[in-house]
Amino acid sequence: MKMRFFFRVQRLLPEFFLLGLIGCLFQCSHALAETLLPASPSTGRFQERLSFRDLQMEKNLDMGPDSADRTLQVGVAPDKLVENASLRLLFRLHSPFFQKSRNTLAVEWNGVRLGKIAASPGESGETLAITFPVPAYLVNTRNILRLRVVRDPKNPCALFGSAPFVTVLRQSSIDLQGTRIGVPPRLSNLPFPFLYPDAAGLRRIPFVLTTTASESLEAAGIIASWLGVRAPYLPFHFPVTVSAPLLKTSFPPGHLILVALGRDLPPNWLPSPVKGPLLMIRPNPEDPFSRILVISGRTPADLRMAALYLSENQFSGTGNSFSPATVLPPPRRLPDDAPRWQAAGNTLRFGWLETPESLRVHGTGSVRVHFSLPPDLFTWNHKWIRARVRFRIRTEKRENRSKLDIFLNDRYQESLALPSSGTGILERTVEVPLSVSDLTPFANRLDFNFNFRNSYPSVISCSMDQNPRLEGTILPDSSLDLRPFSRYTILPDLKLFPNGGYPFTRYADLSGTGVVLPDSPGPSDIGMFLHMMAMFGAQTGLAASRVRVATPKDIESVRTRNLILLGTYRSNPLLLRLTRALPHVSNANLERLKDENLLMEILRWNNPPPAHFGPSDLVQEFRKARNPLGVILETVSPYAPRRVALSVIGVSQKGLFAMDSVLFDPRHFSGIFGDVTVVEPDGLSSFFLPASSFASGSTNPLEQTRFWFASHPVGIVASVIVLASVTGFSLRTLLGARAKNSPDVLEEKERHPE
Amino acid sequence: MKWTAKASRIVFLVAILLLLFFLATIPSPDWQTQLWLGTFLFFAALLLKTFLDGKRWVILTLISLSFFSTLRYAWWRTTETLGMGNPKVHWYEFPFIFLLFGAELYSWIILALGYLQTAYPRSRKADPLPPETEKWPTVDILIPTYNEPLSVVRTTVLAALNIDWPPEKKKIYLLDDGNREEFAAFAAQSGVSYIARPEHRHAKAGNVNFALARSDGKYVALFDCDHVPTRSFLQTTVGILEKSPRVAFVQTPHHFYSPDPYERNLNVFRKLPNEGELFYGVIQDGNDLWNASTFCGSCTVLRRKALNEIRGFAVDTVTEDAHTSIRLHRLGWESAYLNLPQAAGLATPSLSAHIRQRIRWARGMIQIFRIENPLWARGLTLAQKLCYLNGMLFFLSSLPRIIFLTAPLAYLYFGVRIFDADAYSIASYALPTIALSLLANAAINGRHRHSFWNQVYETTLAPYIFLPTLLAMIRPGLGTFNVTAKEGRIEKEFYDRRIAKPFIVLWVLNLGGIVSGILRYTGGFGEIPTILLTLAWTVHNLLIIGTTLAVGWERAQRRFRPRIAVNYPVRLSGRGGQFLYGETEDMSDDGVRIRLLKSASLRTGEEVRLEIPFLDRIHEFPAEVVGMDEFSIRLNFYPLTLEEEKNRVLLLYGRADAWVRLGLSEKGDSILKSLWEVALFALIGQARALKGILWSSGPKLSAPPEPVEKAS
């Protein structure tokens, strides 16, 4: 009875709208917890708090005399005029035992010193706070916040003085207040103001849909992936509202994207009825300082066309609307040709990855090189990936203890002594082996820390020279050698999903991907879908122009594709079929994950190696899983051979909604692997199942066999036992025959008479 | 077997080996998986051994499993743990890493060659001689001596006289390189030929070659002067030579009726296998399958024709025996090994004498390695080359052994890495490999060598054979032939501090390592798993060193000649004409102990006549009562006539089955029990070492004199 009531309620649009709004509010409050103070949309004022975490500072920062400068980029959208700004630094001072010198931490904003923190005895361990006002005239759209250690000028070479003396906490924040500017609605400025890639913090872009037809959802997906292409490496949130007809209350404050059929648009928005695909920017009726990007058309297919046109074209001029006459879909992509994936079997030059300016530092500092490897890069049985690093330095004679420290994804790789160049420039080429185990399947970062130091014994720390005449450059023809690696992987493998979106992104235009949403998708389903598309766009560098969305009823249209199924057990019946291997095949059972009795069922899965979690770890992990939000499971698709099906199941719409923020947080990516991941509010637990799999890509057959055995050590054990037994029997026969028929016991007297 | 069938089987085996190699080279994704894999294989092997022990196919399967595990470990060690190209390994760590790797490489080679040698012991049976004794061939029995006392030599000569062989077809030669008059007189008295050469070049080999030119028997039986043959010696061995005309020699085991230093000093005589039992019980028998059993210088019958072809015994090295067999094998002659003790000798009387003997062996084998390296020697089959190679490589074990005993100290003292791998990975690869090799070796060696004891034996020799082998490697011509001491008495037990010095140093170093490890652990200096692993390794080393220290405690040995357990029915007749019946419990050259059937009372000093029936006669001996209780009586022989003495030798040493299976331990090998024994001896050894260092007085040895060196 309750169920029937639930479905009936879901079909009622106003109530659905209400649900969406509640969902949105929930999501907003969740997202704003760290980044936003309540905004006042209609007054034209804004107030924003950006924590260092929003500024991509992943962990607390220990700073000592040997530390390189740490810079944080603080972008402010051009439609915000900052009038008041302040920096609130939270920090802890270290034990003064080794701190005999008076080093200070200087804080600079766009090269102007805001203040400093000095090491002082008696305050070690406590969390301290200091607020530096930032002059409003210094706040631009792109700002650099630099933390720099300044050594005690009286005692630059203190014994053990290189130990960190302060930890800057990632809860530190920047408060911005000011007025909003109503920017002109120009298509040529897109994606601004809906997305300003340099702006700090979470990208929160509300979507409003008037229909959940497949093409409409595809259009929204294409737009989301296009936004992802424009703002890589940044987290998104897509609060979704489904509302038809559009009411005044349908529009949340702020810039938003509206995907609506022409008939659903308010009549006063357009001078004439919509006849085909339409792109338009217009003010948000609820917030005069905000804009709405309207994707419209007469039919749902027109919506898709309009989105496609937007993702493929640049606009010029000052127009705020455009009706493309014909929209030709882009040519179909080949497998594994995503623009942002580096080609395997080749060398990867740093000059292709970063601008020459970003490869250079003046004084002590870091050069960062970001590179994206194909997610299916077959690194198995390789210990090193060779980097040929060419660098140029300009040092002075006294910096002969200078060094270049190399890190891969924050893990130390090598330290090279930098020779003194005298007064000139010196170039060097070195081969650096980077540990393959420190690579991630997709996004990677190399850090080259140039530390310019003078010549004192190592126990005595001396100032790293911040002399701007000192210079370190990683030359653009430095490269990573990807030649030994092929493209091969075993699917399903959840590890590849967050790290590269594989195998869904194997065709960068997602022509091999189908998404199955519930018949009546909720805001959480759609939000999750959009976030996924944005992530795929960021990963491939290409909009999802050929993605297909289907409902469980018309699964036939996407059956030959790799499938992503979203929803709850109630809303998407296909999920039940695909998750039969799980011990929880229903909502009730999913909730029973809290119950320890279920552990016994899970243990019967008999985790085969290689398992990151053995049975005892599994027990521990499930004991922690008190409040699962949902489960993601990747299996071989039952609809087509050599395809996978990714099931994203929420305990409820609420659970699905909350999964969105956990699942796409890069900090959690390493926790997603194997065949199944249980998503909890604070983290993830992943497990391997004895499920069927298939190989994707190609490598030589011998290597494939070796890899199979490595993945199935039970195969090694069984083979060895059989082979050893066969050897035992054969040798017994062979040697036994030799012992019996040895020539010396043959009657040889006639042949060898004495 | 037709050659095609044989070839196809060999191809099949090679294919299996390639598959095993392929599987061995597949890396494990993590240490847990490797541990799981290794443990599973170990338990499979354990099940096989527990329920199907003794079957040859099971032993060969265990060998295959151990071979696979070792191959896998070796591959991982070579490809993953040497730190090549790893910037995190410091330059000064490479020597340590490679030293340990070299030691391990050596142990893998030795293990593999050992498996080859012992895969299928041939267990040859004696071939019968023709029933008509007139068809039996002529045999010359050669007994070389240099400086040994007559008391030792005369027993051997008399035993040779006792050998059952037609007298007209047996000639005995006493080859006295010491030109001693009493030896000539004894030879004349006993009716054996006496040969003394005017020049004494090339030690024992020269002495025997001199005699070869002056004798003409079809076969030559050779005995060291302390190796006393049984009466059946020739009947059991010559049949093989007669049946197989390409066999150059038949070697029999060297059995020792006196305890060696390990057995005596640890009081494990007949409880643990004799130190030489592995070689004579398993390796020689296994070599026989490959036609690679070696001539061991004594207890051998050789074909004169074969010796003539190689111009007599080899004289270029101090181990003329092994060298001679290489030369015979190179000419295509075959060898035979009969694993039936048909002679017995005296073990080395002290640890120092034992070490001196092994130094000579080690030097000699390395000399051969340099002069006539079997790997390059033409005429040898591949299997022969490998068997000889293993025999020689064994004596290069000193450096690897010292490395194994000290390697963990590099980390514990200085934090220097000896592996470029984490402790978990090392343990997950190494422990199952070690366990499987222990299991396979326990199955192969069984009662011939218990687990862990080879480490004790190697450790005892390691500090002493290192320099001689190194010198022999550099200059093979250096050094002299030293005669092994065979008889000696230790009046009072003492700790041989001089010989134990290097072990005390190793002991102190390892103890320091333990302390350093504990400090590292408590202070957090280093990774805990690495500290624990190296500590466990050091504890193991301490056990081995501790047991070696225990052997340094020389127990008192007041008899020149040991008592030998023999059981004969006896009748005693006293002066009063009464007869007492009983059974001998043990006997020596000097006296006998008898358990009487009824209680009797005889006075100490009373003269009795001892009658022992054996074969077709009753042997009588005059004797004096030296002690008795109600059912037991102890007699000392009065001076015996030569005939009586010959009879006593026959009774004591001459029975065909006198030494059969005596070298084996009473029980088979149990790895854990063996570890427990070694641990116990290690504790005793460390206590002994402390006591010996602090309180023990010096050695009190008595005649016979220490052997002297003889210029080669």
Most confident of A102-111, B129-138, B598-607: B129-138
Coil vs helix vs strand at B592: strand
Asked if residue B95 lies in contact with residue B83, where contact means CB atoms within 8 angstroms, the answer is: no
- Whole-number mean pLDDT of chain B? 88
**A432, A706, A742: residue with CB nearest B26:** A706
How close, in Å, is residue B56 to chain A by CA atoms?
A: 7
Q: Is A564 within 8 Å of A646 (Cβ atoms)?
A: yes
Interface of B with A in 216-255 (CB under 8 A): 218, 243-247
What is the predicted pLDDT for the residue at A189? Answer: 86
Mutate which: B42, B59, B62, B68, vs A, most A CBs within 10 A: B68
Residue B223 has pLDDT above 90, yes or no: yes
Distance CA B593, CA B568 (A): 11
Which residue in A has a C-alpha nearest to residue B304's C-alpha?
Answer: A754
Which residue has 């989105």 as its token pair? Answer: A307
Q: pLDDT tens digit string along B479-515?
A: 665 666 655 666 677 888 888 899 999 999 999 999 9
Domain layout of chain A by residue ranges = 46-180, 187-322, 347-484, 489-697
How far apart are alpha carbons A662 and A651 in whole angstroms?
A: 14
Residue A652: the pLDDT is 83
Report CA B696 to chain centroid distance, whole Å.
30
The answer, for A742 touching chain B at a CB cutoff of 8 Å, is yes
B336 contacts A713? CB cut-off 8 A = no
CA distance A318 to B508: 89
More confident residue, A306 or A200: A306
Contact A737 B1 (CB under 8 A): yes
Chain A residues near residue B60 by CB distance under 8 angstroms: 727-729, 731-732, 735
Residue A423: the pLDDT is 65
A positions 411-450 inside 8 Å of B (CB)? 413-415, 432-433
Of chain B, the percentage scoring pLDDT greater than 70 comes to: 94
pLDDT value at A241 more than 60: yes
Nearest CB to A717; choose among B41, B64, B123 = B41
Report the helix count and the strand count for chain A, using DSSP H and E. 12, 38
Nearest to B243 by CA among B334, B152, B323, B351: B334
Q: Name the residue among A242, A244, A236 with its Cα closest to residue A217.
A: A242
Picking from B20, B27, B289, the nearest residue to A381 by CB comes out as B27
CB-based contact, B338 to chain A, within 8 Å: no
- Does residue A131 contact residue A88 with C-beta atoms inside 8 Å? yes
Q: Is B683 left (phi over 0), alpha (psi -120 to 50) or beta?
A: alpha
Size of interface A-B (CB pairs under 8 A): 145
Which chain B residue has the Cα nearest residue A614? B32
Q: Is the pLDDT of residue A590 over 70?
A: no
Nearest to B61 among A717, A725, A753 (CB): A725
Terminal CA-to-CA distance of chain A, rounded, Å? 109
CB contact under 8 A, B334 and A743: yes
pLDDT at residue A620, rounded to an integer: 53
Cβ–Cβ of A748/B9 closer than 8 Å? Answer: no
Would you state the pLDDT for residue A162? 62
The listed range with the strongest mean pLDDT (A403-417, A688-702, B534-548) is: B534-548
Bond from prior residue into A521 cis (ω within 30 degrees of 0)? no
Q: Do B119 and A731 touch (CB under 8 A)?
A: yes
* Helix residue ranges, H only, A419-462: none
Q: What is the mean pLDDT of residues B593-605?
A: 85
Q: Does the CB of B133 have a partner CB in chain A at under 8 Å?
A: no
For β-strands A207-209 and A240-242, DSSP reports them as parallel
Is the Cβ of A588 closer than 8 Å to some Cβ of chain B? Answer: no
Scanning B628-667 for CB atoms below 8 A from A yields none
8 Å CB contact between A536 and A505: yes
* A562-568 and A411-417 strand pairing: unpaired
Identify the pLDDT of residue B88: 79
**Which residues of A fall within a CB distance of 8 Å from B1?**
737, 741
Mean pLDDT over the full length of chain A: 80
pLDDT at residue B89 in the model = 87
Running DSSP on this structure, what letter comes out for residue A453?
B
In the block, tokens 């102890």 appear at B634
Chain B residue nearest residue A435, CA to CA = B86
Chain A segment 614-643 residues within 8 A of B by beta carbon are 614
CATH number assigned to the domain covering B567-653: 2.40.10.220
Cβ contact (<8 Å) for A742 and B30? no
**Mean pLDDT, range B185-208, rounded to an integer:** 91
| A433, A743, A754 member nearest B87 (Cβ) | A433
Looking at the domain A347-484, which fold is it? Answer: Jelly Rolls (2.60.120)
Residues 26-55 in B contacting A (C-alpha not used; CB under 8 Å):
26-30, 32-34, 36-37, 40-41, 44
Q: Distance of CA B150 to CAs B145, B163, B488, B560, B564, Å?
A: 9, 20, 14, 13, 20
Query: Closest by alpha carbon to A489, among A632, A649, A673, A686?
Result: A673
Q: How do strand A676-680 and strand A630-636 relate by DSSP bridges?
A: antiparallel
Chain B CA closest to residue A708: B26
**CB-based contact, B119 to chain A, within 8 Å:** yes
Residue A205 contacts residue A238 (beta carbons within 8 Å): yes
How many angstroms separate the CA of residue B62 from the nearest CA in chain A? 8
B245 contacts A749? CB cut-off 8 A? yes
Q: What is the mean pLDDT of residues A447-457?
A: 73
Q: Does B185 touch chain A (CB under 8 A)?
A: no
Contact A433 B23 (CB under 8 A): no
* Nearest by CB: B33 against A713, A732, A754: A713
pLDDT tens for each residue of A313-357: 778 776 888 888 877 888 899 988 888 887 767 888 999 888 888
Tell me whether the CATH fold assigned to A46-180 matches the one assigned to A187-322. no
pLDDT of residue A586: 47
A339 touches chain B (CB under 8 A): no
Inter-chain touch A716–B85, beta carbons under 8 Å = no
pLDDT at B264: 86
Mean pLDDT along residues A627-637? 84
pLDDT of residue A623 exceeding 90: no
Tell me the catalytic residues of B: 177, 321
Does residue B671 belong to the interface with chain A, where contact is any CB pair within 8 Å? no
The more confidently predicted of residues B604 and B47 is B47
**Which residues of chain B have a CB within 8 Å of the CB of A753?**
245
The pLDDT assigned to A279 comes to 93
Taking an 8 Å cut-off on Cβ atoms, the answer to whether A724 and B334 are in contact is no
Is B16–A413 a contact, with Cβ atoms under 8 angstroms apart?
no
CATH number for region A187-322: 3.30.379.10
Q: Which residues of chain A from 378 to 417 reach within 8 Å of chain B, CB to CB? A: 381, 383-384, 413-415
Residues of A in contact with B39 (CB under 8 A): none
Contact between B33 and A609 using a beta-carbon 8 Å cutoff:
yes
Measured between CA atoms, how close is A472 to chain B, in angstroms? 22
| Residue A719 distance to chain B (closest CA, Å) | 8
Interface residue B16 vs chain A (CB under 8 A): yes
Q: What pLDDT sits at residue A198? A: 80
In the predicted structure, residue B326 carries a pLDDT above the cut 70: yes
B23 touches chain A (CB under 8 A): yes
CATH number for the domain running over A46-180: 2.60.120.260
| Percentage of residues in chain A having pLDDT higher than 70 | 79
Give contacts of A611 with chain B, Cβ < 8 Å: 32
The residue ranges of every structural domain in chain B are 3-119+397-554, 567-653
| Out of B40, B243, B291, closest to residue A717 by CB | B40
Residues B391-434: pLDDT tens digits? Answer: 999 999 999 999 999 999 999 999 999 999 999 999 999 999 99
Note whether A713 contacts B28, CB cutoff 8 Å: yes
Each residue of A29-57: pLDDT tens digit? 333 333 333 444 556 888 889 888 888 78
pLDDT at A471: 85
Given this model, what pLDDT does residue B555 score?
77
Q: Per-residue pLDDT averaged across A13-27, rounded?
A: 36
With 90 as the cut, is the pLDDT of residue B447 above it? no
Whether A504 contacts A512, CB under 8 Å? yes
Percent of chain B with pLDDT over 90: 59
> Region B124-151: what's the mean pLDDT?
92
Task: For residues A83-93, give the mean pLDDT.
Answer: 93
Give bridge partners of residue B612 from the DSSP assignment: B619
